Amino acid sequence: MKPVVQISLDLTNIDDALETAALAMRAGVDWLEAGTPLILAEGLHGVRKLREAFPGVPIVADLKTMDGGYLEAEMMAKAGATHVVVMARAHAETIKMVVQAGKDYGIKVMGDNLGCPDMVAGAKLLEDLGCDYVIHHIGYDERRGIAAQGNPMPNPLDQLREVVNAVNIPVQAVGGLSLEQAIQCPAYGAPLVVLGAPLTIDADAFKTASGNLEESLRLICEKIHGYGEV
């Protein structure tokens, strides 16, 4: 799979999200993600607005589904999402229901291993239950809590190769990556590169990061899309 660049719109206002999405598309981003803060703030309305503004662009709805899997996936598919996210720590039947909805409505399912005691086993479970992608995810609160205790902050790259080697579906690494680390993901065998907090979003305020974001994104996209080229 060729590298794909996804921007996580972890914003709480649809107007800000649309503005950032337009900027990202101009810079060469491939996929848009309606991040969890945006889903909470704007719900189906936000996904519909993204679909209206960007027809034909893949849209990931980061639902972090834990129950009611079929209905949540169905609703987002009808609103225009092309991908939905279900958690590995949900009941197996919930994951199966999201996968079934994905088949019924022609959307892809991304399984997230956040919080799994064994992250590699969590990734394998998601594949076995029919997910199309694995999100290898170290959570926002987890990272900050561990660092606050004076311990090294965990990073998705720590186990990324193990996760990639354990499954046969594409993997995405999420959670506190620096720009340099995000760009390295394809070299680890993880072709889906997500850019979000703190790369493009102010993680504390959940607003678009300051600086020349469009130019930065363009350079990042060129680097990631050029991975493996001679």
Report CA-CA distances (Å) from 119 to 115, 141, 188.
Answer: 8, 17, 16
Domain ranges in the chain are: 4-225
> Are 190 and 171 contacting, i.e. CB atoms less than 8 angstroms apart?
yes
Q: Quote the CA–CA distance of 131 and 86 in Å, as a whole number.
A: 9
- Kindly report the number of other CB atoms within 10 A of residue 143's CB atom: 17
User: Which of the pair, 130 or 228, is modelled with greater confidence?
Assistant: 130
Beta strand 4-9 with 31-34 is: parallel
- Which residue matches tokens 């979003």? 201
User: Which of the pair, 109 or 205, is modelled with greater confidence?
Assistant: 109
Is residue 90 exposed (0-12), middle (13-18) or buried (19+ Cβ within 10 Å)?
buried
Q: Confidence class of residue 61 from pLDDT cuts 50, 70 and 90?
A: very high
Say if residue 118's pLDDT is above 50: yes
- Architecture label for domain 4-225: Alpha-Beta Barrel (3.20)
What is the per-residue pLDDT for 199? 54
The per-residue pLDDT of the chain, averaged, comes to 92
For the chain, first and last CA: distance in Å? Answer: 17
Q: Confidence class of residue 33 from pLDDT cuts 50, 70 and 90?
A: very high
Say if residue 200's pLDDT is above 70: no
Question: Can you name the residues that pair with 7 across neighbouring β-strands?
Answer: 32, 195
Beta strand 207-208 with 201-202 is: antiparallel
